[in-house]
Structure 1
Amino acid sequence: MTTQLLSRWKRSAIGSQLCLDLRSPQAYQIRHVAPSTNIPWQQLSLRCAELPPKNVPFAVIEPSDQKPDTCSQWLIERGWQCPYVFREDDDTFWTAVEQYSQPTTPKPWLLFRPCPFLMQHINWIEKQTQQHRCLDIGCGSGRDVAWLLSRQPLWNVYALDSLKGAVERTHQLTKNMGVHDRLVECLQAKITSEGKWKTFDEDSPAVTAKNNTTATAGTSPTSGTTTTINNTIAITNGDIDDKSRRFSPGVSTDTFFQDKLGCSQFDLILTIRFLVRSLLPQLPQLLAVGGYLVISHFVEDGVHEYEQPRKDHRLQLGELAALYGSMANIEIVVDVIEQIEDGRPVNSVVIKRTGP
């Protein structure tokens, strides 16, 4: 049975080289499938951003100190496809897998995928750029950041997100992959509807009701808390630390990037599944001449019905083309409507700054 299952996995067209090893790092060092990715079972719930898309089947090696199917069932219940499950204590598996193993490479094998639109165009973008400085605004769990840092040529990446948890996940993912040294900055910051940038003041006093702060009652720590601070809304994901800090006063884009990041010109800017309309017209000024802006966000196409994000948080058809097509020294290189894995439509564009 084990050899047959292993053979079916290796013959599968999708995921034939995707293997999640849930054993301890010590056991993984002694022997492992190559290629495979080691995420200890105890860490899995914190590292789900490293897993493949939920429509891609992959193999799982379960640790012997867990009951059979405990780990794979946990994954399946959360939507992942795990048709190929093997056990650490199955000697037949280790004997049979030797014929399929590949030489181990120094870089970790990636289970996850970045934004498909970014993958499609990155080789061409890299050939056109020189310094390889990237800014990711709304970095989320850090998959695009980590993937970019793992490539050759070497990218230097600056990442921003309004949520502390997203910043922490990005730091952790890049550390797990051994590419954290080229993550120049990963900062918690947000842009307001007026186009001003705010960060959290590390030295501010605790926020209380006396300084115009209110918190939504009845929200559990795990589901997130909505806090209003000086008329600014912040979703803190149950982050107690964020409640004790205030947003800094809003500053202009030029001031923010010079003072906080020390860099105001980038060869590549990413805004993936992130939309603040006041930011859109400011993005070209952050591009170096010859640099590229990649945007991919949900669009109201008049065909597909879906709930999230709500309609006022979606692009309108032709919105990006109308905005950037009217700007001097800006070229729209790619402009497509496509669907992500769950069927929702997105408008994806590549925009080049052609002159000062």
Structure 2
Amino acid sequence: MPTWEAALAPFLHGQRLCLDLREKQAFADGHLAHAVHIHGKDALASRFSTLPARGVAFVVLCADGALQDTIALFQPPERWDIVGVFGLGSEEHIVEGIHPGYAVALPAFAQWAQAHGIWRSGANPRGADDAPALLFAPAPVVARACAWWDARHEHGTHTLLDVGCGAGRDATFLLARGQTHWHATTMDRWRAALERAKVLLEDNGLLARASVLEAAITDTGALRMHDTVYPFSEAPLPHAMYDMVLLIRYWNMALLQHIPKRVAPGGLVVLSHFVHEPRSAQGLVVEATLTHYDTPPIAARIQPGDIECLCAAWQAFGVWHVLENRIEPIEDKRPVQSVLFYRSA
């Protein structure tokens, strides 16, 4: 194995993603710039969904006494692209394991990081030169929607509705962007998912700009909140209208009929869901995907013609345009149809 300094060379030339699992005081005393701090393996257990995707390299820091246990956390080993697990303390030696492990003297590590201009100290709030870097990526269509939005809105405050938000990664990604100021409403029927979303938003200092709601969508597209059923257009959400609505891996045709009633003029609807018969699409960008897969079942997928019918129905609620319509693979190569709808101002 290379020396710990040589092992860190890819980190210096890459995205510089770092997960720091040390105690709060140790982190405040000194850490790598833009590191994500999660205090210990118990706290990490509910945050694995926020870690880098397969093939994305990152560094893990921990206390030297926790080095062996930390290395063993990241299984199966082929799932993770870990540059190295570095246990900071008083000794230096190499640890054999399923990932490269190094015990490193803290003063030597700090000196190395200072020489490269990437050592920071101090507790929250962290400054702009030390804001935590998100370890995960959003759904690709969300990143494209944000880029489209940023190109047209240099300033201002905007509102997001994330339907079926899951662990909140897409909303967190959007809120963390510095160019425009967003307030988010995230909702899901699963309480466990909402708890993970709250944790992720709080970890990144964004919870004050988000409303995390437990809500279920009925078969008729109504919204059930606090044991009361509301028509979607009348549901007591924090905002009457939204500038962007996300429906990522969420497909409810009854709800979709009502979505435009709460989209502000000039707003976007960002939809991405599993699609049936991806090879039958005409006039779409179609990337390499699986053609046969088991979940979700066929009846729960986008069918040929669904998007066209949806866009036609929405014309009753303003003038709508399709900015993007493509079929692309998710990580396991199952196909999703990703669409950006724009409501004319």
Q: Which residue of 2 aligns with 1:195?
A: 221
Find the counterpart in structure 1 of residue 85 from structure 2: 85
> Do residues 250 (structure 1) and 226 (structure 2) align?
no
The match for 1:110 is: 134
Q: Aligned equivalents of 2:158 and 2:53: distance in 1?
A: 27
Q: 1:332 is matched with which residue?
A: 322
Q: In structure 1, what is the Cα distance between the partners aligned to 2:5 and 2:131? A: 28
Shift of 1:115: 1.6
Give the conservation status (yes or no) of the 8 Å contact 1:136–1:270.
Answer: yes
Q: Deviations over 1:179-216 (max 9, x none)?
A: 11111x211001111122112x3xxxxxxxxxxxxxxx
Task: Kindly indicate whether the alpha-carbon contact (under 8 Å) linking 1:33 and 1:101 is maintained by their aligned counterparts in 2.
Answer: no
* Alpha-carbon distance change, 74 to 347 in structure 1, aligned in 2, over 3 angstroms: same
- Report the Cα distance in structure 1 between the residues aligned to 2:250 and 2:116, rounded to whole angstroms: 41
1:351 alignment partner in structure 2:
341
Matched position secondary structure for 1:83: strand
* Contact kept? 1:35, 1:101, Cα under 8 Å: no
* 2:57 pairs with 1:70: no
Deviation at 1:51, TM superposition (A): 1.0
- CA deviation map 1:75-99 (0-9, x unaligned): 1337332232212121244433333
> Partner residue of 2:186?
159
- Normalised TM-score (structure 2): 0.81
Query: Post-superposition shift, 1:249?
Result: 4.2
Whole-Å Cα distance in 2 between the matches of residues 25 and 131 of structure 1?
A: 33
Query: Equivalent residue for 2:55?
Result: 55
Distance 1:23 1:351, change over 3 A: same
Shift of 1:317: 3.2
- How far the C-alpha of 1:326 sits from its partner, in A, is 4.8
What's 1:121 paired with? 145
- Cross-structure match for 1:43: 43
Q: Distance in 2 between matches of 1:265 and 1:280?
A: 15
Which among 209, 224, 237 is matched to residue 182 of structure 1? 209
Secondary structure, aligned partner of 1:110? coil
What amino acid is the match of 1:293? V
Give the match for residue 138 of structure 1: 164
The separation in 1 between residues aligned to 2:114 and 2:294, in whole angstroms, is 47
Distance in 2 separating the partners of 1:158 and 1:249: 19
1:26 aligns with 2:25: yes
For 1:238, the equivalent position in structure 2 comes to none
1:181-330 superposed matches below 5 A: 181-183=208-210, 185-199=211-225, 201=226, 248-256=227-235, 260-300=236-276, 301=278, 304-328=291-315, 329-330=319-320
- How far has the Cα of 1:145 moved from its partner? 1.3
Instruction: Give TM-score scaled by structure 1 length.
Output: 0.78
Q: Secondary structure at the match of 2:111?
A: helix
Using the TM superposition, name which of 287-296 and 51-60 deviates more: 51-60
Of the structure 1 ranges 344-353 and 319-328, higher mean CA displacement relative to structure 2 is found in 319-328
Q: Deviations over 1:187-246 (max 9, x none)?
A: 1001111122112x3xxxxxxxxxxxxxxxxxxxxxxxxxxxxxxxxxxxxxxxxxxxxx
Classify 1:169/1:123 alpha carbon distance in 2 versus 1 (closer, same or farther; 3 Å). Answer: same
Structure 2 alignment gaps of length 5 or more: 90-103, 121-128, 280-289
Distance 1:55 1:307 in 2: 25
Identity percentage of aligned residues: 29
Cα–Cα, structure 1 residues 50 and 327, in superposed 2: closer, same or farther, change >3 Å? closer
State the match for 1:233 in structure 2. Answer: none
- Amino acid paired to 2:234: T
Task: Tell me which moved more, 72-81 or 278-287.
Answer: 72-81
Distance 1:101 1:321 in 2: 52
Q: CA deviation at 1:276?
A: 1.4
Looking at structure 1, the residues matched to 216 and 159 of structure 2 have their Cα atoms a distance apart, in angstroms, of 21
Deviations 1:245-279 (A, max 9, x none): xxx243211221xxx22422111101111111211
Question: How many residues end up aligned between the 2 structures?
Answer: 300
Q: Is the 8 A contact 2:110 2:119 kept in 1?
A: no
The verdict on how the C-alpha distance between 1:298 and 1:136 changes in structure 2, with shifts beyond 3 A counting, is same
3-state SS of the aligned residue for 2:22? coil
| Shift in Å, 1:107 | 2.5
Q: Is the 8 A contact 1:136 1:159 kept in 2?
A: yes
Say which is worse superposed, 164-173 or 89-98, in terms of deviation. Answer: 89-98
SS in 1 for 2:115: coil
8 Å contact from structure 1 (residues 5, 84) kept in 2:
yes
Match of 1:96 among 89, 95, 112: 112
Cα distance change, pair 8–351 in 1 and its aligned pair in 2 (3 A): closer
